[in-house]
Chain A
């Protein structure tokens, strides 16, 4: 990611980022002074599909 704002024109202006998933992406952007928010998110039931299906049937 270029740190010079003039090089960000391909995205039409200054970049503000919301990152979901791997935190490393957010860290990299933050280190280049790009405003970024890391969403604290995990797959439901830690990615256990059987438990996630049960929870869905239990009202979540």
Chain B
């Protein structure tokens, strides 16, 4: 159908012509549109308090205490249950957040500007691995780390990025792919590249040698530091596609721990949701599948732009880490995702696959026709609040989301 083909050509053109640049770190209250006091943005499609999973409720209790809206976790839980907090998805505010995806007024936000579209997208700074708020952690250690990110790391990074004029992310991703990252569960190369890019400007703009040393050490020790940058980049790339008439390209995939949701270019900001699936993966010592929470987070924006599970062929090491099989099978995942995408990205290539471009532009028609759903590399949170990450794995997007989207797009186009 010509309208769909034209729409998809325009969608792919906008994706491939995006020029995302990490330009600043700014407190959320100053930059995230529509964000207010006593409002919490969360990962995934919209959800009410009573339907939220354990780690999501745990993170909400923690962030309420962090913001000073309640004196302790019990009071915070009462406040949330009593309807005194407004909840909204990150995606409704030009933002994304990993796992529970907590965004509130005082958190420092990475700012990625798409120089082509002129739009901006935001994501909080990655806290590291283990017991952290994005996995539902909420004790004093977690809150202290968030306060340090707010008071020291965020301002330090913001000053450096303004001084250096930002970091161009497209070439950084291209290098990262050639160094074995897929940018969802493996970010070790890109995190190192970010540190290399920003370190001298952080030193130049810092007035406190101890704070500088702590900040550089924190980035150095966090192999997933770049994930949140990749997520803000993904949102900045995909938002200009949000309302192209006829287009069947997916603009967002996201999970709130209860439901998986997708948005499609030709159907605007409507969500198509289905129960989220359990990841299949490997667990840290002392934990099993019985401890795991169903999948969650806005980080699937990384797969939406052709990275993560779609770029598994670039990262054989991650296939073993997430329990996806032998390293030699990694390329099969990328080939398979290519069957449901409209194009490839000529600037983001995989050397070990003869410089094949990563699959680009998930077409809901191809997903439903082939029965192949997007493969997502993901972290696994403990099902109880306050524990944190217990493993990593692979999860599949539910087919029901794509079937609903096909029917709705057909209806919009007058096809029956």
Per-residue interface assignment for chain A, residues 23 to 60, with 1 indicating a CB less than 8 Å from any chain B CB and 0 otherwise: 00000000000000000001011101001101101111
Interfacial chain B residues near A44, Cβ < 8 Å: 369
Chain A: CB-nearest residue to B399: A46
Q: Are A57 and B5 in contact (CB under 8 A)?
A: no
Q: Within B362-397, which residues are at the interface with A (CB < 8 Å)?
A: 365-366, 368-371
The majority secondary structure among interface residues of chain A is helix
Q: Are A54 and B410 in contact (CB under 8 A)?
A: yes
Count of B interface residues, CB-CB < 8 Å: 19
The majority secondary structure among interface residues of chain B is helix
Q: Tell whether A42 pairs with B370 under 8 Å between CB atoms, given A58-B1, A58-B4, A58-B248.
A: yes
Q: Are A51 and B403 in contact (CB under 8 A)?
A: yes
CA distance A52 to B365 in the complex (A): 10
Q: Are B365 and A57 in contact (CB under 8 A)?
A: no
- Chain A nearest CB: distance from B253 CB in Å? 20
Q: Are B365 and A59 in contact (CB under 8 A)?
A: yes
CA distance A52 to B370 in the complex (A): 10
Chain B: CB-nearest residue to A45: B368
With an 8 A cutoff between CB atoms, is B285 at the interface? no
Q: Tell whether A54 pairs with B5 under 8 Å between CB atoms, given A45-B368, A60-B365, A60-B366.
A: no
CA distance A52 to B403 in the complex (A): 11
Q: Which of B369, B413, B416 contacts A60 (CB 8 A)?
A: B369
**Count of chain A to chain B residue pairs whose CB atoms are closer than 8 Å in the complex:** 43
Chain A: CB-nearest residue to B370: A42
Q: Are A55 and B370 in contact (CB under 8 A)?
A: no
- Chain A nearest CB: distance from B350 CB in Å? 21
Q: Are A54 and B370 in contact (CB under 8 A)?
A: no
Interfacial chain A residues near B403, Cβ < 8 Å: 45, 48, 51
- Chain B nearest CB: distance from A20 CB in Å? 15
- Chain B nearest CB: distance from A30 CB in Å? 19
Interfacial chain B residues near A42, Cβ < 8 Å: 370-371
Q: Are A54 and B371 in contact (CB under 8 A)?
A: no
Q: Are B371 and A58 in contact (CB under 8 A)?
A: no
Per-residue interface assignment for chain B, residues 314 to 325, with 1 indicating a CB less than 8 Å from any chain A CB and 0 otherwise: 000000000000
Most buried by B among A42, A44, A48, A58: A58
Q: Tell whether A58 pairs with B415 under 8 Å between CB atoms, given A42-B371, A46-B371, A51-B403.
A: yes
Chain A: CB-nearest residue to B403: A51
Chain A: CB-nearest residue to B4: A59
Interfacial chain A residues near B1, Cβ < 8 Å: 57-59
Per-residue interface assignment for chain B, residues 1 to 20, with 1 indicating a CB less than 8 Å from any chain A CB and 0 otherwise: 10011000000000000000
Interfacial chain B residues near A45, Cβ < 8 Å: 368-369, 371, 403
Q: Are A54 and B406 in contact (CB under 8 A)?
A: yes
CA distance A57 to B406 in the complex (A): 11
- Chain B nearest CB: distance from A19 CB in Å? 18
CA distance A58 to B369 in the complex (A): 11
Contact residues of B with A, CB < 8 Å? Answer: 1, 4-5, 248, 365-366, 368-371, 399, 403, 406-407, 409-410, 413, 415-416
Interface pairs (14), CB distance under 8 Å: A42-B371, A44-B369, A45-B368, A45-B371, A46-B371, A51-B403, A51-B406, A54-B406, A54-B415, A55-B365, A57-B410, A58-B248, A58-B415, A59-B5
Give the 5 A-B CB pairs with smallest separation, nearest first. A59-B1, A42-B371, A57-B415, A54-B410, A44-B369
Contact residues of A with B, CB < 8 Å? Answer: 42, 44-46, 48, 51-52, 54-55, 57-60
User: A45-B371, A55-B406 given. 17 additional CB < 8 A pairs?
Assistant: A42-B370, A42-B371, A44-B369, A45-B368, A45-B403, A46-B371, A51-B403, A52-B369, A54-B406, A54-B415, A54-B416, A57-B410, A58-B406, A59-B1, A59-B5, A60-B366, A60-B369
